[in-house]
């Protein structure tokens, strides 16, 4: 059975280019194209596609409002198509929070088409299998946009971070497809006095990780920042690996922990890689170490989680299939036997708090 795709973009050239890329795979058939959000909503209703590609930036009804209208009336998996700009990144992050399954970049030129095509087809295949809930205005009401703060400034009203040698636990989280919304669920549930650091790898390119960190910092009681090379790790802060860089945690005497970033070869097709983060965390002395894998395609993080468990990790946690957008990375870790707790998304923060106490 072929997956039926609706392509939405205000550019005739981009509609043709995306349609051609999709139909190069025999598993897909483009059943229609829409040039704006109003057409898109009507065509989703009339054609009932299996998946939609949706331009982030369109005149009139923009991509974000179009997404919400589609999910409110006829829920269907939506893959956002984003420009590689700071503005495009911000809107894309909001779209992922609102229920988009994933996103791809628009090709920057004719030489980038082949790479974008492979990514587009892989993500479309994953998206087409996702069950999408109806968009809820009530559930989204707390997500109203707030002005982004500079990353170096602590959030007003948030507790000061603790010196790096005062915390006893460290949490490492890996996630991919569906991760921005999953991270929001977990991190917003942590209290202001959560006194331990969290290191996060979210498979995402540059600019998008910065926008995601800002957005999460606006919503969370703890601080959330994009990590910087050489930065001292402090309690009560979540550090997000920047797109394009592996993130490692390193130890220095006297009992100081720092962030180390590098652009070494991608692992499991990713940079940042969850395996790289987890392996570095496992080398840290004195701390009780916790590893968490959430929604995502592939198996990044699974082997390193198993190795950490064998080495004596304080805990290893995988998100349960029932709440994963894509049950790939957690499933791989469970299959290897590296998981202590399999928890639905809404229970992960609760377990983190209990473990830290």
Quick: pLDDT tens for 135-193. 654 344 444 333 333 333 444 456 656 666 689 999 999 999 999 999 999 999 999 99
Are 338 and 219 in a shared domain? Answer: yes
What is the phi/psi pair of residue 266, to 5°? -55, 145
Read off the pLDDT of residues 11-62 as tens digits, 9 standing for 90 and up.
Answer: 999 999 999 999 999 999 999 999 999 999 999 999 999 999 999 999 999 9
Read off the pLDDT of residues 210-263 as tens digits, 9 standing for 90 and up.
Answer: 999 999 999 999 999 999 999 999 999 999 999 999 999 999 988 899 999 999
SS3 45: helix
Are 93 and 196 in a shared domain? Answer: no
Residue 263: which CATH number? 3.40.50.180
Are 209 and 336 in a shared domain? Answer: yes
Task: Return d(Cα 196, Cα 83) in angstroms, integer.
Answer: 36
Are 82 and 217 in a shared domain? Answer: no
Residue 282 lies in a domain: yes
Structure tokens at 14: 């981009």
Are 313 and 255 in a shared domain? Answer: yes
Task: Return d(Cα 179, Cα 176) in angstroms, integer.
Answer: 5
Residue 345 lies in a domain: yes
Task: Give whole-number Cα distances, 111 to 115, 117, 201, in Å.
Answer: 8, 11, 29
Read off the pLDDT of residues 90-111 as tens digits, 9 standing for 90 and up.
Answer: 899 999 999 999 999 887 766 6
Alpha helices in the chain (DSSP H): 12-23, 37-47, 63-73, 86-98, 113-127, 137-140, 179-188, 208-219, 274-281, 302-311, 329-336, 345-356
Task: Return d(Cα 21, Cα 106) in angstroms, integer.
Answer: 12
Are 261 and 212 in a shared domain? Answer: yes
Domain count within the chain = 2
- β-strand pairing of 256-262 with 246-252: antiparallel
Residue 141 lies in a domain: no
User: Which residues are the active-site residues?
Assistant: 176, 203, 300
Got the DSSP string for 267-300? BTTBSS-HHHHHHHHTT-SSSEEEEEE-SBSS-T
What is the separation of C-alpha 155 from the centre of its chain, rounded to a whole number of angstroms?
22
Contact by Cβ (8 Å): 196, 223: no
Contact by Cβ (8 Å): 98, 68: yes
User: How many other C-beta atoms can be found within 10 angstroms of the C-beta atom of residue 337?
Assistant: 10
The whole-chain average pLDDT of the chain stands at: 90
Domain that residue 47 falls in:
3-136
Contact by Cβ (8 Å): 221, 206: no
Residue 160 lies in a domain: no
Are 127 and 174 in a shared domain? Answer: no
- pTM: predicted TM-score of the whole model, two decimal places: 0.89
Residue 293 lies in a domain: yes
Residue 156 lies in a domain: no
Task: Return d(Cα 56, Cα 54) in angstroms, integer.
Answer: 6
Residue 28 lies in a domain: yes
Are 303 and 177 in a shared domain? Answer: yes
Residue 44: which CATH number? 3.40.50.2300
Q: Give, rounded to a whole angstrom, the gap between the first and last alpha carbons of the chain.
A: 51
Q: Tell which of 136, 156, 185 closes a domain.
A: 136
Residue 278 lies in a domain: yes
Residue 230 Ramachandran class (φ > 0 left, ψ -120 to 50 alpha, else beta): left
Are 82 and 199 in a shared domain? Answer: no
């Amino acid at each position: 059975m072929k997956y039926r795709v609706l392509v939405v973009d205000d550019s005739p050239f981009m509609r043709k280019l995306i349609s051609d890329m999709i139909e190069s795979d025999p598993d897909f058939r483009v059943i229609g194209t829409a040039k704006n959000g109003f057409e898109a909503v009507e065509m989703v209703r009339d054609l009932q596609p299996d998946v939609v590609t949706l331009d982030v930036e369109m005149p009139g009804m923009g991509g974000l409002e179009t997404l919400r209208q589609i999910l409110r009336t006829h829920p269907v998996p939506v893959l956002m198509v984003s420009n590689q700009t700071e503005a495009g990144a911000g809107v894309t992050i909001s779209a992922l929070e609102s229920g988009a399954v994933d996103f791809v970049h628009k090709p920057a030129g004719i030489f980038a088409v082949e790479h974008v095509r492979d990514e587009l087809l892989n993500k479309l295949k994953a998206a087409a299998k996702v069950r999408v809930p109806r968009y809820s205005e009530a559930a989204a009401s707390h997500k109203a946009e707030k002005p982004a703060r500079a990353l170096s400034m602590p959030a007003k009203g948030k507790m000061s971070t603790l010196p790096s040698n005062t915390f006893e636990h460290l949490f490492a989280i890996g996630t991919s497809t569906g991760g921005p919304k999953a991270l929001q669920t977990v991190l917003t549930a942590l209290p202001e006095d959560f006194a331990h650091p969290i290191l996060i790898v979210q498979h995402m390119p540059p600019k998008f990780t910065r926008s995601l960190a800002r957005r999460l910092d606006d919503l969370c009681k703890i601080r959330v920042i994009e990590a910087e090379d050489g930065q001292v790790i402090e309690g009560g802060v979540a550090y997000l690996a920047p797109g394009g860089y592996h993130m490692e945690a390193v130890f220095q005497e006297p009992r100081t922990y720092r962030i180390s970033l590098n652009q070494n070869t991608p692992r499991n097709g990713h940079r940042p890689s969850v395996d790289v983060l987890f392996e570095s965390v496992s080398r840290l002395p004195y701390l009780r170490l916790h590893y968490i894998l959430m929604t995502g395609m592939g198996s990044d993080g699974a082997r390193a989680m198993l190795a950490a468990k064998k080495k004596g990790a304080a805990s290893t946690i995988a998100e349960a299939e029932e709440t994963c957008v894509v049950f790939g990375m957690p499933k791989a870790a469970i299959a290897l036997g590296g998981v202590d707790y399999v928890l639905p998304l809404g229970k992960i923060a609760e377990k983190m708090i209990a473990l830290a106490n």
